[in-house]
Structure 1
Amino acid sequence: MIQVVAAAVIWGLVLCILPGVRNRKDHTILIAAVAIATALSLNVDPIYIAGDALLGGRNLLDLCANVLMVVGIYSLSQAILRAAEFNDASVRRDGLGMTILSFVVLGLAAAFFSIEAPVSSTRFMLDYGSQPAAALYSSIQFAYIGIVVGLTGYVCFRFRRRMATIHFRLAFTLIGIGCTLALVVVFAVLGMDIAHVLGDLGTMQRLAVAYDVSFVGAMLFLCAGLALPPVARRMSRRIDVRTREGLLNSLTETWEKATANRKDIRLATAARGVERGDASTRKLHRMLVEIQDALLMDPSAAELLDEADRQTVSRTEVFLASHHSAQGSRLSPSVWGRTRGINDR
């Protein structure tokens, strides 16, 4: 049941990341989420039994799932660490990290093939974990995961206050909490591995409770933190579109009043309807400039404007100023919300 819940949560994260994927050059988080979600899904009993049977029924699917898990954790960590960097080297190769990951995968394979596990089992470590090779197999995986999430959590807590917006700061905080809970998972698993080899079933059961609670908590916090930036961006864009639409409708009336006697400076086309994206913002800007020019050249035109018109002009000025600021500091999806960064790619 734990695996089903965790897999569902991670697949939910994938669905949150997918919209707008074509506009992003860095798909590391998506790749990591898919890898982790697939690894967890492969451990769901019916899927594991059917999949392992296709591979010969000797638990090779467990090795495949664990390799996918460490690859996903590595990719996820790289994406988060790049998000916390303050330079333009976010796409550089992590040679050392890839080398360590390769050795971890080789170690997992070597330990796995030393385990006597002739029958496919959905409780692999419970059935075969008393073997030292099985304990080594599990320990390699979780020791690596512990080091990676420990470093990632440290970076999240250290740099969260440097994020440009509150939702990025909250995202880093949630990810940091998720990494902390993931460390609890790691220590619980390592403890269970040792207890199993020693035959201490009581300790195993107590650690299993800590494992279940912390595992679900880690998945929830990590996914919430990773899903927050893309969801917040989409919500912000929708609010931005609605705001532009309202301002265009309101400012058009003000524009027509202010420029009634100076039609020579008007827009080449009527300001009807709402265009998407930057086109509507440019139209707002031009209308505002024409209103200001009309008032400057003919002060009597101000008498044609009422308080509502002046408030509309003021709101438009504030919106355009904030929009210009956001455009100037907009960041690549690969680096989320850091205070200093590079423009959208």
Structure 2
Amino acid sequence: MIQTLVATLMWALVASLLVFRRKRADRSVTYAAIAIAIAMTLNVDAIYTAIDPLLGETNIATLVADALLMTGLFFLGRGVMHTGHYRPQLVRVAVSLPILLVSLAAITVAFFFIDHGETTTRFMADLGDQLATAVYSIINFVYCGVVIATMMVLATRQHRSSTGIQRLPAALLTLGSAFGVALCLAVIVMDIAHVTGQLDLMYAVQPAYGPLSLLTFGFLCAGFTAQPVVRLAQHHARRRRTAALAAGLEPVWERATRVRPGLSQAEPLAAQADDPDGRLHRKIVEIRDAMIDGRVTFTISDDERALLQAAERHLLGEQDTETEPGRGGDDDTAQADEECPA
């Protein structure tokens, strides 16, 4: 049941990323979501028992699923790293391709030392008392834990450096990563307890596995889904504010172009209907030109000057709290293309 819920969450994330991130140049997060979704789907009992016989009925499907999970986390870590400027050497090493390849090679070698038996949906429960199985699982979850811990560091830093609604995706990713680290530690403890015969300890930790899995993937999926949604909301909010500022400057701009005709006479602003920032910039430039042209007489009031300055700050992406006509600045947003964590 847990694996089915996790797989459903991952495919929902894939669908949302394909909708909201289809125009992004960096597709690391999308590749990661697809790989992890396939891995989680392979772990669903009904699908596992259908796939593994096709691979020889020796639980090879477990190795395939775990390799996909590690590869997905690699792309996930890369995606988070690429969204910020904080990339210390340790972070770059943790999510580097050589570390992934070495880890994949290590679990593959360890896997073939395991007495696989026949297809079982309880791989670790049935075979976890073997040393090779414990080594296999520990390598897998040490790698996953290191990558997730790296993501947590990056998301935490991004949360501190962000403001307003931009902090939400980072907060969700930080929580998901924290639960993920706890999940990896719990699995490693269970592996060690199982292979050393400390079954009481294993049974004591085991109940945490399901909730930690749901919390990890739930918060990570929410965080990565929130990123493009927040950007889209900011983009629309910025366009609305741009339109409001342009409308507020309209009377000033009309007076300015009457005394000093500008480029708008040759290229009407209506031609820029699909570029609200360009329209607003044109108005600002023509108003400023009229203000500094000594050949014409053109003055503006203090309120109009404040509105003009607010429009200039808006185009520069600066926060402003005073100047949108008829309202405060709570809806002001950062530039539409600014990235949240990953």
| TM-score exceeds 0.5 | yes
Report the equivalent of 1:323: 315
CA distance in 2, matches of 1:215, 1:254: 59
How far 1:43 moved relative to its partner?
A: 0.9
Are residues 239 and 159 of structure 1, via their aligned partners in 2, closer, same or farther at CA, if it must alter by over 3 Å?
Answer: closer
TM-score (norm 2): 0.78
Tell me whether 228-237 or 96-105 shows the greater mean CA deviation.
Answer: 96-105
Q: Deviations over 1:286-325 (max 9, x none)?
A: 22443455577344x86xx9x9xx66x7546424422223
Q: Deviations over 1:259-296 (max 9, x none)?
A: 456667753344448722xx322222222443455577
Q: Deviations over 1:55-77 (max 9, x none)?
A: 22221111100001111112222
- Residue in structure 2 matching 1:287, options 283, 289, 308: 283
Report the equivalent of 2:17: 17
Q: Tell me the secondary structure at the aligned position of residue 58 of structure 1.
A: coil
Q: Is the 8 A contact 2:86 2:154 kept in 1?
A: no
TM-score (norm 1): 0.77
Are residues 252 and 222 of structure 1, via their aligned partners in 2, closer, same or farther at CA, if it must alter by over 3 Å?
Answer: same
CA distance in 2, matches of 1:153, 1:209: 24
Mark the runs of 5 or more structure 1 residues left unpaired by the alignment. Answer: 339-345
Q: Tell me the secondary structure at the aligned position of residue 118 of structure 1.
A: coil
CA distance in 1, matches of 2:188, 2:94: 28
- Residue in structure 2 matching 1:191, options 181, 189, 192: 189
Q: Tell me the secondary structure at the aligned position of residue 317 of structure 2.
A: helix
Report the equivalent of 2:122: 123
How far 1:199 moved relative to its partner?
A: 4.5
Are residues 269 and 15 of structure 1, via their aligned partners in 2, closer, same or farther at CA, if it must alter by over 3 Å?
Answer: same
Bigger relative CO (Cα 8 Å, ≥ 6 apart): 1
Q: Tell me the secondary structure at the aligned position of residue 18 of structure 1.
A: helix
Alignment of 1:205 onto 2:197: no
CA distance in 2, matches of 1:271, 1:198: 76
Q: Tell me the secondary structure at the aligned position of residue 97 of structure 2.
A: helix
Alignment of 1:2 onto 2:13: no
Q: Tell me the secondary structure at the aligned position of residue 243 of structure 1.
A: helix
Q: Deviations over 1:228-257 (max 9, x none)?
A: 332211111111223334444554455446
CA distance in 1, matches of 2:163, 2:252: 33
Alignment of 1:106 onto 2:102: no
Alignment of 1:26 onto 2:26: yes
Report the equivalent of 1:147: 146
CA distance in 1, matches of 2:164, 2:276: 27
Tell me whether 254-263 or 169-178 shows the greater mean CA deviation.
Answer: 254-263
Residue identity (%): 32
For 1:321, the aligned partner's letter is R
Q: Deviations over 1:86-141 (max 9, x none)?
A: 58x9xxx9699322222211221122222223322222212222222222221111
CA distance in 2, matches of 1:263, 1:157: 52
Are residues 99 and 331 of structure 1, via their aligned partners in 2, closer, same or farther at CA, if it must alter by over 3 Å?
Answer: farther
For 2:281, the aligned partner's letter is H
Mark the runs of 5 or more structure 2 residues left unpaired by the alignment. Answer: 319-333
